[in-house]
Amino acid sequence: MATLVLADHDLGQLAPATARVVAAGLQLGAPVDVLVAGDDVDKVATAAAALEGMARVRVARSAALATPSAEAISALLLKLAPEYGAIVAGSAAVGRDVIPRLAAGLDLMPVTDIVAIHAANRFDRPIYAGNAIETVVSNQTQQVLTIRASAFRPVGQGGSAPVEQVDAGGIAAVTRLLAAHRTESDVPDLATAQIVVGGGVSVGSAEGFKLIERLAHRLGAAVGATRAAVDAGYAPNDWQVGQTGKIIAPDVYIAVGISGALQHLAGIQGAKKIVAINTDPEAPLVKIADVALIGDLFAVVPELIEELARLGIGGQAQG
């Protein structure tokens, strides 16, 4: 049976993570449909149809789906579930809310936070705050899964999947979204960025954290932060990386002034290369880094930005 991937979208734009979740869905070995649920979602459906490898895009339009209401989306998925062998969502805010409700409705065990797929019923997922990876074999007749999108390469563009309408009649939301508070930013999405520059509390202040942002801007990278830096007010909450923040798997993670608490290491375990800038050669993160620059971040980072600029690498640094 086919696989259904729940598209993640916001402000009329398809989330980049969806291309990665589709890639994971294709590894299950069955045709993949993408479900776009919302109200005014024509652009999202068009973007989803351009993803490579999909069988079709299914669009459910309803006022009840105008906001990402977990009970409305899970009710819609319950209607569609008999057509699919697996239903997959990203391990993000919507997926984490919807999939457990769906699994309960289907009386199934969800398999969550998947970072590798070995077969249609065999998956890897982190446990013990990311300190170990367990392999799960799920012999249920139907799979309900959440995927850590950053662990998978996205499918390409250039597809032309047909777009079909889905009857969303009878779907209702029992909650109402009162407000959404957003952080305006022109940097890449932290969860799917190829390069991430992270800062710790040792930057000393919100003004000091701008040095991290300048390096990220020069490299075209996303900006991350430790929980301590966020708690100190140096960086916004949605930049937090770690067990209680976002899980990332960039090609390169540059950790500036970060000692490497277990909670933070749990969030960067998928990074392919780690560069640590720190004064302490014994810091846990320095010990696991592929490249370590031992020195004062306020001396090393400006020199690094200046050298990148001299070599013509990246854009214009801010400030």
Tallying the residues shown for the chain, one arrives at 319
The pLDDT of 124-135, averaged and rounded, is 84
pLDDT at 150: 81
Q: Tokens 């906001």, residue?
A: 67
Q: Are 179 and 75 in contact (CB under 8 A)?
A: no
**C-beta atoms surrounding 313 within 10 Å:** 12
Task: Choose the weakest-confidence range: 2-6, 81-85, 117-121, 258-262.
Answer: 258-262
Residue 319 has pLDDT above 70, yes or no: no
**Helices 70-80 and 93-106, packing angle to 10 deg:** 50
Task: Choose the weakest-confidence range: 39-43, 131-135, 282-286, 305-309.
Answer: 131-135
226 contacts: CB under 8 Å, gap ≥ 6: 198, 199, 200, 201, 240, 241, 242, 258, 261, 264
pLDDT at 267: 84
Residue 133 has pLDDT above 50, yes or no: yes
Residue 128 has pLDDT above 90, yes or no: no
Q: List beta partners, residue 278.
A: 294
pLDDT at 262: 85
pLDDT at 187: 77
Task: Choose the weakest-confidence range: 38-42, 150-154, 286-290.
Answer: 150-154
Distance between CA atoms of residues 121 and 137, nearest Å: 6
- % the chain with pLDDT above 70: 97
Nearest to 99 by CA among 36, 171, 6: 6
The pLDDT of 140-153, averaged and rounded, is 92
pLDDT at 315: 64
18 contacts: CB under 8 Å, gap ≥ 6: 5, 7, 8, 9, 34, 48, 51, 90, 149
- Which parts of 138-272 fold into alpha helices (H)? 206-219, 227-231, 262-265
Residue 50 has pLDDT above 90, yes or no: yes
Residue 189 three-state SS: coil
Distance between CA atoms of residues 195 and 28, nearest Å: 28
Band (83; pLDDT cuts 50, 70, 90): very high
**C-beta atoms surrounding 273 within 10 Å:** 13
Q: Can you read off the two tokens belonging to residue 298?
A: 């306020």
Element (H, E) at 3: strand 2-6
Distance between CA atoms of residues 106 and 33, nearest Å: 19
Residue 316 has pLDDT above 70, yes or no: no
Q: pTM for the whole thing?
A: 0.78
Residue 194 has pLDDT above 90, yes or no: no
Tens digit of each residue's pLDDT (9 = 90 or more) over 152-193: 889 999 899 999 999 988 888 888 888 887 767 777 888 778
- How high does pLDDT run on average in the chain? 91
pLDDT at 181: 79
Residue 292 has pLDDT above 60, yes or no: yes
Give the dihedral of Cα atoms 295, 296, 298, 303; nearest 10 deg.
-20
The pLDDT of 41-50, averaged and rounded, is 95
Q: Are 256 and 305 in contact (CB under 8 A)?
A: no
Task: Choose the weakest-confidence range: 2-11, 94-103, 246-255.
Answer: 246-255
E strands in the chain: 2-6, 9-10, 13-14, 32-38, 56-61, 84-90, 111-114, 116-119, 122-127, 132-137, 143-147, 163-166, 195-199, 222-225, 252-256, 273-278, 291-294
Residue 79 has pLDDT above 60, yes or no: yes
Residue 245 has pLDDT above 90, yes or no: no
Residue 281 or residue 132, greater confidence: 281
pLDDT at 191: 76
